[in-house]
Structure 1
Amino acid sequence: MRRYLMLIAHDPGGWESATAEERRLYVDGHAAFDRFVDRHGRRVSGAPLADADTATTVRHSAGRRVLTDGPFAESVEMIGGYYDVELPDLDVAIAAASLLPPAYAVEIRSVVELDPTGEQVG
């Protein structure tokens, strides 16, 4: 099994402006995703995130910590949630992500496992 982080990007306000039928499609898509992952692997965690305007970004410049209110990058879409899952391979991860609502862009990233010394495992 490989571990994947799926970052869910969407246009802000989509849920608030969605009709009852559209909201049902969102809920159904997440339920289908959950069932698929449970059949093929394991959900480690997942959660919706607060809006991007609540973010704080930490950067370092000239040896000093610089805090900025807001997300790391300017974008029309925002990261609205994530799933951390274990699945057999990328093809299965793509199949799972494809079950999520079509209004989402889902970025799939392999999680790099590190040992206590910081060396990559596997």
Structure 2
Amino acid sequence: MLYAILAYHVEAEVMSWTPEEDAALMVNLLAVHDRLNAHKLLGPTARLGGTAKARTLRGPGAGMVLDGPFAETKEQLLGLYVVDCASEDAALDVARQLRQVNPTAVYEIREIRKYLPGAPVAATEAAEE
């Protein structure tokens, strides 16, 4: 089953890191990536651009483009991972590994359901309860 692990962090804190501090964190995160790749668990990962350049599209019709992500949290979504795990517990374990090397980040774990136009959306265990 695929899970998204969304990485939240206080953006101002991340932006305050020196290039050396950022590089050191990335070395540690890449070590986790290597372990996950060895077990064929890791899918696409991304580090997102700054929220100052984020745009939100909302509203009816063609919508209105607004500056910023308008997050209702202290942290901003700064990255994501897609992992292929047998269970939610296994996905939580991956998030714990990431948090070990980036302890000030917050990780949100969500199941990914594939959407294919014209095909029914697969039921999940939560939907069946």
* TM bracket, shorter-chain basis: 0.7 to 0.9
Q: C-alpha offsets along residues 32-67 of structure 1, whole Å, 9 cap, x if unaligned?
A: 431342244432201100111211101114x45121
1:73 aligned to 71, 76, 83, which one? Answer: 71
The structure-2 alpha-carbon separation of the partners of 1:105 and 1:65, relative to structure 1 and needing over 3 Å to count, comes to same
What percent identity do the matched residue pairs reach?
28
SS at match of 2:63: strand
Alpha-carbon deviation of 1:22? 7.6
Please say if 1:15 is aligned against 2:14.
yes
1:86 aligned to 84, 99, 114, which one? Answer: 84
| One-letter amino acid matched to 1:6 | I
Whole-angstrom CA distance in 2 between matches of 1:76 and 1:53: 15
Please say if 1:107 is aligned against 2:101.
no
Residue segments in structure 1 that go unaligned for 5+ positions in a row: none
Higher helix content, 1 or 2: 2
The structure-2 alpha-carbon separation of the partners of 1:29 and 1:90, relative to structure 1 and needing over 3 Å to count, comes to farther
**Superposition CA RMSD, Å:** 2.3
Residue segments in structure 2 that go unaligned for 5+ positions in a row: 124-129
Higher strand content, 1 or 2: 1
| Counterpart in the other structure of 1:121 | 122
Tell me if the contact between 1:15 and 1:23 (Cα under 8 Å) persists in the aligned partners.
no
The structure-2 alpha-carbon separation of the partners of 1:34 and 1:5, relative to structure 1 and needing over 3 Å to count, comes to same
Instruction: Report the TM-score, using the length of structure 1 for normalisation.
Output: 0.80
Tell me if the contact between 1:97 and 1:106 (Cα under 8 Å) persists in the aligned partners.
yes
Whole-angstrom CA distance in 1 between matches of 2:95 and 2:116: 28
| One-letter amino acid matched to 2:114 | E
> What number of residue pairs does the alignment pair up?
119
